[in-house]
Structure 1
Amino acid sequence: MQELRDAGVMLRLIYEAMKKKGVDTDAIFNRLGVDESYVYSDQLRTPHNAQLFFWQVVEDVSGDPDIGLHLGMLLPAYKGQVLEYLFLSSPTFGEGLRRAQNYQRLLSDAAKTDFLIEGDEACMVLDAASDEVRRLKHFNECFVQGLITFFKSITNDSFSPSRIEFEHVREEGTEHVQDILGCDVVFGAEENRLYFPVEMLSHASPHAEPELLALHERFASEQVAKLEKKDIVGLVERIVAELLDSGDVTLDSVASRLGIKPRTLRTRLTEAETSFNQVLADFRYRLARQLLATTDESIDEIVYLTGFSEPSTFYRAFKRWSNMTPIEYRKTAQGKETVAVDV
């Protein structure tokens, strides 16, 4: 099964909001095993289910039980991306919404946004792949504000929600949420939904341009095609995870599990602008950082779990990847020592 990922722009917007709020981002990144350079990595896509751990860390470090709601207030508008251009070059907001649905994957592999009209209201059904993420308070309350901020940006502040329904349940603070979101809010609903007046669909875009729209749609299609080519990377990573402790992690063994020839796998990885050795190294490095940052497993056990045959080989590789020894990295990530991290 393909691992679902979110576009890195989502993490970047939250990072900017955390800086505005004065949240200790260094402490958060140490816990996550990354740093600022990771946030701004080219073509970054993060595992969707990592939202669960990410938001728990952000709440722990900030000490704010409503951190998702409060960061949502500070999110910058989603700018400079092809989805924004699709909206702006479409004749109306409704047309932009319909077109953007075709390219949701540019924002997240997990996005399954639907669009409905119910009487004098229109609504977007905001779905995520897993039940856990769909019911995650911080994610829901932050994401919906990001969406509203984006819609206001592309409609010159004409967009305004009429009602929001959340799957997650709130025991307290419901009036605070309604004050911030500026509309009626329902908790414990069957789906996450964003309602707005149906006439908003006819809101004309002052930037509408048929030729630009065709250009933006072509570019969006090309971007989705690139993501589809990179799907092979996720499949390879899944099999690598299954084979690591066996010691038989080779291009041939992974190709066999995929039911394709090694030459075909090599070609597909080249088309995805990577190689088998690079995918394997990246996966091992990510796994090592996670184990060092979030567990008390011994170094010998981590050597085994990351598929290295000898501790010395693991130490050399980790030092090459991070400019730190595994022990130095663990102390930094777990907040036991202050050391500069270069990831």
Structure 2
Amino acid sequence: MQDAGVLLRIAYEAMKELDIDVVEVLSRCNISEEVLNDKNLRTPNHAQAHFWKVLEDVTKDPNIGISLSKRMPVFTGQVLQYLFLSSPTFGTGWERATKYFRLISDAASVSIKTEGDVARLSVNLDGVTEDANRHLNDCLIIGMFKFCQHVTDGEFKAKKIAFAHPHPENLAAYTSVFTCPLEFSAADNYIYFDANLLDRPSSHAEPELFALHEQLASRKIAKLELQDIVDKVRRVIAQQLESGVVTLESVATELDMKPRMLRAKLADIEYNFNQILADFRCELSKKLLANTDESIDQIVYLTGFSEPSTFYRAFKRWVQMTPIEYRRSKRVGN
């Protein structure tokens, strides 16, 4: 599961606002500042736990999720914002957001439920550890709250906020942001608000633009679904590699797909099977050489090569170093 790179860029801007040592944080998270400019960037969701642990460690702030989100710019400039603004009503905007929320994160989902005169916005997180969850919950809820205020020109008011994580030791950080009642250890993360607001007309409503924005969102979702194929291919390669026989045909069979269809799906997103296989072998080889004491013969086996000479030639082509030189370079000073 992955998150949109825009989330990291927003966090980066907030870190600078707070004078946090961004070089230290990014270095410890193995992120380069250059990659933040990639508009197609998506980051692995499992890295959230490490990111928040590093951030709390660097800042010594037990409520860093709240501190950071207070300085985060409003989530703007993305197709979901344009869908909201061009939607006929605030409620219609949320209907579309729930459909396309994967553009923001594979691990988060949102839904709206109305009970009488109260509407409830649910924010569900999947597969995030409890420690990361607390900071991420805080960040998402405050980010959602600010976004709702933005697209309603400040009319949005919360009746109650509920967090899935336990009651914090110090409530002051939360009451500095919210004046409404707060609940903790809830079944999910919720924002309760006046249901009448769902019918609020958008001051920027434009039917033709709304249709165009929805088409764009649909295309982006379709591209993500195709990208899922690459992830599935990599998982099968990992399973089959030790056998030494990994082919387009063997992977397609495992995925219950015809080889021609798999080749076409990969071509649609400008990938080819041989490159995915080579990249996987390269990454695995570098990891084994740098982080283990496995013999070269064992690494040859684990990466699916038939003999050492073939492995040596491939590795030299990938890294411009022999395996021995690469291992030595990674251990200098350790």
- Give the structure 1 partner of residue 303 of structure 2: 307
Q: CA RMSD in A?
A: 3.2
Residues 133 and 139 of structure 1 are in contact (CA less than 8 Å); yes or no, is this contact kept in structure 2? no
Aligned-partner SS, 1:260: coil
1:267 Cα offset (Å): 1.3
- Give the structure 1 partner of residue 60 of structure 2: 63
Distance 1:288 1:208, change over 3 A: farther
Of 25, 50, 53, the residue aligned with 2:22 is 25
Moved more, 210-219 or 177-186: 177-186
The structure having more radius of gyration, on CA atoms, is 2
1:245 Cα offset (Å): 4.4
Of 29, 34, 39, the residue aligned with 1:37 is 34
Residues 4 and 104 of structure 2 are in contact (CA less than 8 Å); yes or no, is this contact kept in structure 1? yes
Residues 49 and 132 of structure 2 are in contact (CA less than 8 Å); yes or no, is this contact kept in structure 1? no
Query: Partners in 2 of 1:192 and 1:305 — Cα distance?
Result: 47
- Give the structure 1 partner of residue 143 of structure 2: 146
Question: What is the aligned length?
Answer: 325
1:210 Cα offset (Å): 1.2
Residues 303 and 314 of structure 1 are in contact (CA less than 8 Å); yes or no, is this contact kept in structure 2? no
Q: TM-score, normalised on structure 2?
A: 0.84
Aligned-partner SS, 1:58: helix
Of 289, 292, 296, the residue aligned with 1:297 is 292
* Deviation readout 1:229-259 (Å, 9 max, x if unpaired): 2221121122223334444444333223213
* Deviation readout 1:247-282 (Å, 9 max, x if unpaired): 444433322321323332221101122222333455
Query: Partners in 2 of 1:31 and 1:305 — Cα distance?
Result: 32
Aligned-partner SS, 2:15: helix
Residues 33 and 289 of structure 1 are in contact (CA less than 8 Å); yes or no, is this contact kept in structure 2? no
Query: Partners in 2 of 1:241 and 1:133 — Cα distance?
Result: 29
- Give the structure 2 partner of residue 267 of structure 1: 264
Residues 130 and 165 of structure 2 are in contact (CA less than 8 Å); yes or no, is this contact kept in structure 1? no
- Give the structure 2 partner of residue 341 of structure 1: none
Residues 112 and 122 of structure 2 are in contact (CA less than 8 Å); yes or no, is this contact kept in structure 1? yes
* Deviation readout 1:11-66 (Å, 9 max, x if unpaired): 22112212222222222232232312223324222222222222222222333222
Q: Any gaps of 5 or more consecutive residues in structure 1?
A: 338-343
Query: Partners in 2 of 1:263 and 1:209 — Cα distance?
Result: 42
Moved more, 94-103 or 251-260: 251-260
Distance 1:297 1:270, change over 3 A: same
Letter of the 1:235 partner, please give it: K
Q: Identity, % of aligned pairs?
A: 41
Aligned-partner SS, 1:122: strand
* Deviation readout 1:122-168 (Å, 9 max, x if unpaired): 11111122263697111111111111222222122222222211111
- Give the structure 2 partner of residue 212 of structure 1: 209
* Deviation readout 1:46-89 (Å, 9 max, x if unpaired): 22222222222222233322211111111111111111111101
Letter of the 2:207 partner, please give it: P
Query: Partners in 1 of 2:194 and 2:157 — Cα distance?
Result: 8
Moved more, 187-196 or 155-164: 155-164
Residues 284 and 306 of structure 1 are in contact (CA less than 8 Å); yes or no, is this contact kept in structure 2? no
Query: Partners in 2 of 1:281 and 1:185 — Cα distance?
Result: 52
- Structure possessing the higher relative contact order (Cα contacts under 8 Å, 6 or more residues apart): 1
**Structure 1 residue 243 corresponds to structure 2 residue 240:** yes
Residues 6 and 45 of structure 1 are in contact (CA less than 8 Å); yes or no, is this contact kept in structure 2? yes
**Structure 1 residue 160 corresponds to structure 2 residue 157:** yes
Distance 1:189 1:249, change over 3 A: same
Query: Partners in 1 of 2:284 and 2:181 — Cα distance?
Result: 43
Q: Any gaps of 5 or more consecutive residues in structure 2?
A: none
Aligned-partner SS, 1:181: coil
Moved more, 308-317 or 34-43: 308-317
Query: Partners in 1 of 2:180 and 2:130 — Cα distance?
Result: 23
Query: Partners in 2 of 1:80 and 1:196 — Cα distance?
Result: 25
- Give the structure 2 partner of residue 276 of structure 1: 273
Query: Partners in 2 of 1:51 and 1:180 — Cα distance?
Result: 23
Q: TM-score, normalised on structure 1?
A: 0.82
Letter of the 1:16 partner, please give it: E
- Give the structure 1 partner of residue 318 of structure 2: 317
Letter of the 2:276 partner, please give it: V
1:317 Cα offset (Å): 2.6
Residues 114 and 124 of structure 1 are in contact (CA less than 8 Å); yes or no, is this contact kept in structure 2? yes
